[in-house]
Amino acid sequence: MFRNMSVLALCTNRRGSVAVEFAVISVLLIVFMFFLTDLVVRNATTGRLDRVAYSVAGIVRERVQLYDAREKLNQGDVDQIAKLAARMLTDMDLDADLSKLQLVVEELHFEDITSIGSTRKDIDLYRRWQSGSAGGCTPPQALNQLTQLAPKGSYGRWVPLYQVTICLPTTSWYTWLTTSSTENPQLSSFAIVMAR
């Protein structure tokens, strides 16, 4: 029975075409589901990073309640915030690999206003703090370029701004197959808040 079979006969034989079509469509469905799962995992991780960045930024902004009204940050504050972010991500996903978690906190303070009607925003202090191996973790735009976001407070001064950026490299099969990059893609999220 199999001696007379050839590739041409297999392709033109209608009895075997159903099996061939089923095999091809099954492979395509498996590949599609694989990429869809990868996309869902990436979006879920991005959502987790968004929640953590916003929560941590909310803690940074509470300068009066949590930091004895000290508006300027120090490295100890940033390290403590990074530990909190790692703990929050661990609580969301126990299997998360947080060994490469990176956190960048920027602060922007303005000089006191000299005249009542002044709208000038002169930068007094801009600092960038890092925790983890944050060399590749950069916000979409540096905080010192976003001075227009600072409102004038009730005391007639420009309110300080803080920006928290959290980055986490992840594995992505889609990126691995579609690009020639050997590095894992880095997911990031940021939040900008003003001091209270």
pLDDT value of position 4: 61
* Residue 1 maps to a domain: no
Task: Name the residue range of residue 181's domain.
Answer: 7-194
pLDDT for the residue numbered 66 = 76
**Residue 41: per-residue pLDDT:** 87
Can you give the pLDDT at residue 106?
93
Q: Note whether residue 131 is domain-resident.
A: yes
* Residue 2: inside a domain: no
Asked, for residue 125, whether it belongs to a domain, the answer is: yes
DSSP string across 82-113: HHHHHHHHHHH-TT---TT-EEEEEEEEEPPP
Residue 135 in any domain: the answer is yes
What is the per-residue pLDDT for 157?
81
- Answer yes or no: is 128 within a domain: yes
- Residue 181, pLDDT score: 65
Asked, for residue 134, whether it belongs to a domain, the answer is yes
In a domain, 145, yes or no: yes
pLDDT of 92 reads 82
The Cα–Cα gap between 138 and 24 comes to: 43
Query: pLDDT by residue for the chain (196 residues), tens digit each?
Result: 556 666 666 666 666 677 788 899 999 999 899 889 988 988 888 999 999 999 999 998 887 677 777 888 888 888 999 999 989 988 887 677 788 889 999 999 888 877 677 777 778 889 998 987 756 888 899 988 888 888 887 777 888 899 999 998 887 777 777 776 667 778 889 999 988 7
Measured CA to CA in angstroms, residue 147 lies from 4, 107, 141 at distances of 79, 11, 11
The pTM score is 0.77
d(CA 112, CA 153): 11
Domain count for the chain, please give it. Answer: 1
